[in-house]
Chain A
Amino acid sequence: MADDKTSVDRRGFLKYAATGAVAAAVPNSMHAQEHDHDHDHDHDHDHQVVPSDPALRTKALESLLVEKGLVDRAALDALVDAYENKIGPRNGARVVARAWVDSAYKERLLNNAPAAIAELGYGAVQDEHLVVLENGPRVHNLVVCTLCSCYPWPMLGLPPVWYKSAPYRSRAVIDPRGVLREFGLELPEDVEVRVSDSTAEVRYLVLPERPAGTEKMTEEELAALVTRDAMIGAAKIEPPPGGKA
């Protein structure tokens, strides 16, 4: 009886909840309380398209806080701009590329990451409780926060939805190899998998393995190869197509 739009199973529901699309995707089961009748029957009618409830509530909250002088609207604009345009995985990629081309820098990064990223102009040493974990042919690190969404955001920006989602948070610690397989990465049995669960204010950044065929690339070209997922440990970095070797 239910058509595709209303037939959302539990897993689909979790997915929609994670992306914030739940209001649009689950008109019957989850939003029944907003309607004056039960939708679990066979009929067809349109639902008015209105801005989602949290969008309206956020707008109302912003207006109230601005009027009360608790927040400055221009500061909010600047923060959104910083999150969208200034803080992102390009920061981490620059650090990784530097470590690949400069072995002394790499040592400093692995031994004292806050000081090493400060050399490139990132963070404030006393504020960054950062640890860098090196991936290689024998050891593969994967980072998760099972309890919430801790993430090295000065290096990587705000976390992607999958990192904050129940499927990843629940399974990364009990089945990391299965999780990596879902990302398309099949690790050989003899590789040691180390999962870091970010339960404190220490943040973990993975230093991925430098791919073969990149020996002649510049630091800038290397930085362009480095992906966010590889710095979480959810992927390896692929050699460039055709290479430059």
Chain B
Amino acid sequence: MNGIHDMGGMQDMGPIQPEKNEPVFHQAWEGRMAAINRAIGAWGKWSLDASRHGIEILPPADYLRMSYYEKWLTRNVELLVKRGMVTREEIETGKPAPGSQKATPPLTAAAVPAVAGRRGNFMRPEAEATARFEVGQNVRARNMNPVGHTRLPRYARGKKGTIVRHHGIFVFPDTNAHFLGEQPQHLYSVRFSARELWGDDASPRDSVYIDMWDSYLDHA
């Protein structure tokens, strides 16, 4: 989706403003939101890819206006409703529907230390997938504009690069985000020269490395 989230190469967004001694959370609710996000994720009702797409489909003006964790809040409410874990009415009233059964949370406090620092495994080495490329080959990122989730940034589409690393077989976000299965593919690191991406004003030495799935690429 050619959404506002696909920001690489945009200009005039203002200065970068690092904060000295920045706290992990600026307000207590942000920490609660981060924790809720992790705890409801433990139900396995949606993937990380679906979760990312939930942020991307926010209206562009909201995307820019909302703080990071406000986006998470909105996204999680929508996913909880979409996956039938809560109803819109329950969100509005703040109360479980009368007569609804109480569930047992999959993530307990005792399990948190073991899982809090872990991200999960997205590699699928056993999957059947053909590697169409190898390290050293020249490739061109496809010019494609899917309306759904993709991790091929706009600024790289149609550009020529070189495969510099083969990462292995990974879950494919473009399908997984839409509950269409993991459909794993080979994943590569592709080097694009800054001049290929941005033209002759860019430094002749500089480059951008982008991780790309097999179907994002053609031989060049």
Contacts and interface: CB of A to CB of B under 8 A. Distances in A.
Interface string A53-74: 0110111111111011111101
B206 A148 contact: no
B123 A126 contact: yes
Interface stretch (A35-43, A98-106, A176-184, A236-244): A176-184
Contacts of B173: 200
Given A69-B102, A79-B112, A146-B153, A17 B35 contact: no
A32 interface: no
A219 B69 CA distance: 36
B36 interface: yes
A20 B11 contact: no
Contacts of B7: 146-147, 166, 169-170
Interface string B2-23: 0001111111011111110010
Given A161-B22, A165-B16, A166-B14, 12 more contacts: A22-B66, A64-B86, A67-B102, A68-B102, A72-B107, A75-B107, A80-B35, A122-B117, A157-B24, A160-B18, A162-B16, A165-B17
Contact of B8 (A65, A127, A149, A197): A197
B91 A167 contact: no
Interface of A: 10-11, 13-15, 17-22, 30, 52, 54-55, 57-65, 67-72, 74-80, 82-84, 86-88, 122-124, 126-129, 131, 144, 146-149, 153-154, 157-158, 160-162, 164-177, 179, 182-183, 189-203, 229, 234
B41 to A, nearest CB: 10
Given A68-B103, A174-B11, A229 B18 contact: yes
A193 B116 CA distance: 33
B140 to A, nearest CB: 16
Interface string B85-100: 1100011001110001
The 5 closest A-B pairs by CB, nearest first: A146-B8, A20-B67, A11-B14, A82-B116, A200-B211
A198 B211 contact: yes
Given A82-B112, A196-B209, A170 B25 contact: no
A79 B206 contact: no
B86 A195 contact: no
A72 B35 CA distance: 10
A64 B90 contact: yes
Contacts of B104: 69
28 contacts: A18-B17, A18-B67, A22-B65, A22-B66, A54-B73, A55-B27, A68-B96, A70-B40, A70-B86, A75-B111, A78-B109, A78-B112, A126-B121, A126-B123, A147-B5, A148-B5, A162-B18, A164-B68, A170-B10, A171-B16, A173-B208, A190-B205, A192-B206, A192-B207, A193-B203, A199-B151, A199-B153, A202-B189
Contact of A146 (B6, B96, B109): B6
A197 B153 contact: yes
Interface string B22-43: 1011111111111110111001
A192 B202 CA distance: 12
A64 B94 contact: yes
B45 to A, nearest CB: 10
Contacts of B14: 10-11, 14-15, 166-167
A152 to B, nearest CB: 9
Contacts of A74: 108-109
A144 to B, nearest CB: 8
A199 B210 CA distance: 6
Given A123-B118, A191-B205, A200-B167, A80 B105 contact: no
Given A72-B108, A170-B7, A177-B203, A162 B17 contact: yes
B180 to A, nearest CB: 18
Given A72-B39, A177-B203, A129 B52 contact: no
Contacts of B152: 199
B105 A148 contact: no
B190 to A, nearest CB: 10
Contacts of A10: 14
B70 interface: yes
Contacts of A128: 119
